[in-house]
């Protein structure tokens, strides 16, 4: 299954470029099995229009049965347990197509497979797999992932749900509350995360819990701005007895399991983002050709063309990032791809949201009407920037991981090496390199740019570690600029891997080369912005202005007799 130590981007920045992993990537289109499922899903979805599903706010029995027959609920579950057995890459190709048709409907199997059952597939014992995966694959028992709590979102180490081992060690007693659980109302099974020792935050367990168990209470479906057909609920646990054999892996492994599963969840969002961008781009082309202003189709206006081009480019980059990260996990299912999956999620969801905005603008006034897909698609997709870690978390998370890796490398140097500033600066002697000969000039230029970005990232990491030390996490503007550089670097590397693979397969790469050049030009603009001298001035202005705003808020609350939580003072 793999030892989980692969860190492709971190190694590129801090150690060496893994040309073996890069060259072993194979760009893939849907294989026959995946293509057949996609075709059947298209046929089924025609009988259940997205707008009518939203009005009903529930998945009809006929639709659920149809999804079962297609194999949707077992797409990536191994065939020996009754699943379809698609590879991760092929599974993501199906999700991409489903999201392009109806994001709300696609979310049900996505939550079930990408995160709900993934812990059982990756960490379950053979007994656990034989008991639960066949039911999951058939759609008899849908699964949900229960990590988030009413007051705990991204800070997963500090969840408050507890699991206490009984004296005879036969079962755990589960107590606590979970919030915003996707598939909550549909689920027959949950993977629940709980603290095993409240005095040791992060020492967690991951438990398979059947929702029919006494003490499990599923809340009512929450009303949302979109995704009406998707069930989102709170779930409470009161003295729930969970058999000890339902613990995944070992006691204390829960946090590691949760984070590994989220890597797969983020790839699901990357695939969905690609599908939404691709579909929106197609609709923009059609709308721009048919809608006329000032005596000509609006497709002839550069600002409309710009929206269409960006949708095409960003969809291609999103798919490349998704596929390449999937490639890393297929080589080693427990690989450490925290940075790569974070970038995939951040890039895909933010660019897809921009694309949805552009699609609505291209549609004009009609884009605001509920009868056309723009309005619903925007509402359905909006939550993806919150799912699996918010945009803000993913904007600061990767550089913190890189600093941790950099510090680890520095601390493991020989004892007689200088560990002061000179020792840190000596790390700059090692400069990232690409170490591959590429045939196309555009690809060589892109690789050179990626290396330049990598050098700049390493320089900033060392500078930040020296200047801010253990307080570096408080300097989010600084971290955000590193993330923006790394985001484009990974996009370029993933796109290069796709193009090189297709070139080796003898396929036409002319359009992809244009996409690459466009994206590198965009990355150049990003680099200039990320290295601008204006940042320090703006950062200081931000601090001054926020302080003034915060003081005004305090005065307003005092004058109305409210405390900082918005509650009336007694």
| Given 54, 283, 388, 500, the catalytic residue | 388
> Which of 338, 354, 434, 440 lies closest to 389 in space, CA to CA?
338
- For tokens 């028992």, name the residue: 141
**Do residues 53 and 102 lie in contact, with contact meaning Cβ atoms separated by under 8 Å?**
yes
CA atoms within 13 A on the CB side of 301: 16
Query: Residue 123: how many CA atoms within 13 Å on its side-chain side?
Result: 27
Residue 316's nearest CA partner among 87, 525, 498 is 498
- For residue 8, how many other CB atoms are within 10 A of its CB? 22
Residue carrying structure tokens 């500033």: 421
Largest CA distance in the chain: 82
Per DSSP, the three-state class of 223 is: coil
**Alpha carbon of residue 511 to chain centroid:** 27
In 3-state terms, what secondary structure has residue 514? helix
Count of H-run helices and E-run strands, the chain: 19, 9
Around Cβ 66, how many Cβ atoms within 10 Å? 18
Residues paired with residue 410 on neighbouring β-strands, in sequence order:
none
| 3-state helix/strand/coil string of 452-507 | HHHHHHHHHHHHHHHHHHHHHHHCHHHHHHHHHHHHHHHHHHHHHHHHHHHHHCCC
The two three-digit tokens of residue 215, written as one number = 């003490």
Cβ neighbour number for residue 424 with a 10 Å cutoff: 17
Question: Measuring CA to CA, how many Å separate 206 from each of 28, 32, 108, 254, 310?
Answer: 34, 36, 21, 5, 41
Q: Which among 256, 143, 259 has a CA at the least distance from the CA of 210?
A: 143
Task: Give the burial class of 516: count Cβ atoms within 10 A of its Cβ; 0-12 exposed, 13-18 middle, 19 or more buried.
Answer: buried
Burial 445-477 (b: 16+ CB within 10 A, else e): ebbebbbbbbebbbebbbebbeeeeeebeebee
Residue 282: which region, alpha, beta or left (left: phi > 0; alpha: psi -120 to 50)? alpha
Please say if 214 is a catalytic residue. no
Tokens of 425: 């600066």
Catalytic residues: 388
């Amino acid at each position: 299954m793999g030892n989980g130590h692969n860190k492709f981007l971190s190694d590129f920045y801090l150690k060496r470029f893994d040309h073996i992993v890069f060259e072993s990537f194979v760009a893939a289109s849907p294989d026959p099995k995946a293509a057949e499922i996609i075709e059947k899903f298209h046929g089924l979805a025609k009988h259940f229009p997205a707008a009518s599903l939203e009005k009903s706010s529930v998945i009809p029995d006929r639709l659920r049965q149809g999804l079962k027959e297609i194999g949707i609920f077992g797409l990536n579950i191994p065939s020996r347990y009754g699943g379809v057995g698609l590879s991760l890459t092929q599974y993501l190709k199906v999700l991409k197509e489903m999201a392009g048709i109806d994001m709300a409907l696609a979310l049900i199997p996505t939550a079930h497979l990408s995160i709900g059952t993934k812990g059982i597939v990756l960490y379950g014992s053979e007994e656990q797999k034989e008991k639960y995966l066949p039911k999951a694959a058939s759609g008899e028992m849908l699964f949900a992932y229960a990590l988030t709590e009413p007051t705990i979102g991204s800070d997963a180490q500090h969840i408050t749900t507890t699991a206490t081992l009984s004296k005879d060690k036969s079962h755990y007693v589960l107590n606590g509350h979970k919030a915003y659980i996707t598939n909550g109302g549909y689920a027959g099974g949950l993977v629940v995360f709980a603290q095993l020792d409240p005095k040791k935050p992060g020492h967690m367990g991951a438990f398979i819990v059947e929702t029919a168990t006494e003490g499990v209470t599923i809340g009512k479906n929450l009303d949302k701005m979109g995704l009406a057909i998707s069930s989102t609920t709170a779930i409470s646990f009161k003295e729930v007895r969970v058999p000890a054999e339902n613990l995944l892996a070992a006691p204390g492994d829960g946090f590691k399991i949760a984070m590994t599963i989220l890597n797969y969840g983020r790839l699901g969002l990357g695939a969905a983002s690609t599908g939404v961008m691709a579909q929106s781009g197609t609709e923009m082309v059609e709308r721009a050709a048919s809608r006329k202003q000032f005596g000509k189709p609006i497709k002839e206006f550069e600002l409309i063309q710009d929206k269409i081009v960006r949708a095409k480019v960003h969809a291609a980059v999103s798919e490349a990032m998704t596929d390449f990260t999937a490639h890393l996990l297929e080589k080693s299912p427990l690989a450490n791809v925290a940075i790569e999956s974070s970038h995939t999620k951040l890039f895909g969801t933010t660019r897809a949201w921009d694309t949805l905005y552009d699609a609505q603008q291209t549609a004009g006034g009609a884009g605001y009407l509920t009868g056309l897909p723009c309005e619903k698609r925007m509402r359905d997709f909006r939550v993806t920037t919150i799912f699996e870690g918010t945009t803000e978390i993913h904007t600061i998370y990767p550089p913190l991981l890189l600093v941790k890796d950099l510090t680890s490398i520095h601390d493991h140097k020989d004892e007689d090496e200088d560990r002061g500033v000179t020792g840190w600066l000596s790390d700059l002697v090692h400069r990232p390199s690409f170490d591959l000969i590429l045939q196309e000039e555009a690809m060589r230029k892109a690789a050179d740019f990626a290396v330049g970005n990598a050098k700049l990232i390493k320089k900033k990491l060392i500078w930040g570690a020296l200047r801010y030390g253990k307080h570096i996490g408080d300097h989010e503007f600084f971290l955000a600029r590193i993330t923006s550089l790394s985001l484009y670097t990974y996009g370029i590397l993933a796109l290069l891997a796709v193009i090189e693979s297709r070139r080796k397969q003898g396929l036409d790469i002319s359009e992809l080369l244009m996409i690459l050049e466009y994206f590198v030009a965009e990355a150049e603009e990003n680099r200039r912005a990320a290295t601008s001298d204006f940042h320090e001035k703006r950062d200081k202005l931000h601090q001054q202005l926020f302080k003034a705003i915060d003081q005004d808020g305090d005065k307003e609350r005092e004058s109305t007799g409210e405390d900082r939580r918005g509650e009336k003072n007694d």
